[in-house]
Structure 1
Amino acid sequence: MVLRFGDRAAAATLTDTPASRQLTAMLPLTVQLKDVWAQAKSGRLPHPLTVEDAVPVHDPTPGDIYFWSRTEVIAIYYDDLGQAVPDPGLIRLGVVNAGLDSLANAGKRVTVRIDSAAGTSS
């Protein structure tokens, strides 16, 4: 998928999981991301993802994309501050392959349009 913000973009690959397939079905979508803890950009999805039987992550990896089911938020981590994520944990959706630094430096609030890699028009 492609994350577009301003005149920049980041490329990402989603995992082959039920939650990631649900996210793909929502595309294209626009999400308002905030950077509250100086380690991830996060914003609420328009619909929750089903995460039953998903393996929770409590130690997120920079560059990975996660879903926090408690608040229906997608989060793109760009730094590791050594903090553990409390239960129920994060659900890994994918990884940013290119453009992570641009997204990390995009400011405290950024509007991101997420498109599938194959359907990036409009």
Structure 2
Amino acid sequence: MLSHLPQALAFIVALIFSANSFANDTALSRAEQDEKHMYAIRIVFGEHIVSATLEDNPSTRDFIAQLPLSLDFDDYSSTEKIAYLPRKLTTTGAPPGVDPDVGDIAYYAPWGNLALFYQDFGYSDGLIRLGRITAGLEHLSFPGSKQAKIELVPAD
């Protein structure tokens, strides 16, 4: 009976390594899938580019369906740059509101506008987070109104 112990032990060790490898592969494929469900956009203000990633949610997919867009952005309350979209986005599955952080891109459902937050702001009902600015936040410090082109960045 003891002669089979090394074989049984080897089998158990192989089984554990196999299960661990499967778990790591599954975690990696989930991370890769999550990465594939992020969208990259650029917002071009003249010569300045603001880069961002968007979350995968119904509102974001509805927004992406409208791209490319040319929009006029205005300052709102020295906190955010806002622009009105050609049509309202779906709010299916959206939370009742969010507390945006500096760098957040959001959609304000009651007014139908896109918001780029360059200052901190508190919780707001009807606000849906679409994504985050990853570079170029400093380009939102302009006064008055400025036109921008928003486009989806092609995947590699």
**CA distance in 2 between partners of 1:98 and 1:113 (Å):** 16
Choose between structure 1 and 2 for higher RCO, CA contacts under 8 A separated by at least 6 residues.
1
**CA distance in 1 between partners of 2:148 and 2:45 (Å):** 5
1:30 touches 1:112 (CA, 8 Å); kept in 2?
Answer: yes
Asked if residue 92 in structure 1 is aligned to residue 129 in structure 2, the reply is: yes
Task: Answer 1 or 2: which has greater helix percent.
Answer: 2
2:80 touches 2:119 (CA, 8 Å); kept in 1?
Answer: yes
2:71 touches 2:148 (CA, 8 Å); kept in 1?
Answer: yes
1:36 touches 1:108 (CA, 8 Å); kept in 2?
Answer: no
Structure 1 stretches of 4+ moved >4 Å? none
Q: Which has the larger radius of gyration?
A: 2
> Secondary structure of 2:76's partner?
coil
* 1:98 partner amino acid: A
Which deviates further from its counterpart, 105-114 or 42-51?
Answer: 105-114
**CA distance in 1 between partners of 2:91 and 2:100 (Å):** 17
CA offset digits 1:10-68 (Å, max 9, x no partner): 10101010110111111100111110200100010001100022113342111000001
For the aligned residue pairs, the C-alpha RMSD in angstroms reads: 1.5
Q: How does 1:109-120 map to 2 (within 5 A)?
A: 109-118=145-154
Shift of 1:80: 1.1
The number of residue pairs the alignment matches comes to 115
**CA distance in 2 between partners of 1:41 and 1:30 (Å):** 14
Which deviates further from its counterpart, 50-59 or 27-36?
Answer: 50-59
**CA distance in 2 between partners of 1:67 and 1:56 (Å):** 12
Task: Answer 1 or 2: which has greater strand percent.
Answer: 1
Q: Which residue among 60, 83, 87 is the counterpart of 1:43?
A: 83
CA offset digits 1:86-122 (Å, max 9, x no partner): x3x300001000001112x122211110011129xxx
Unaligned runs of 5+ in 2: 1-40
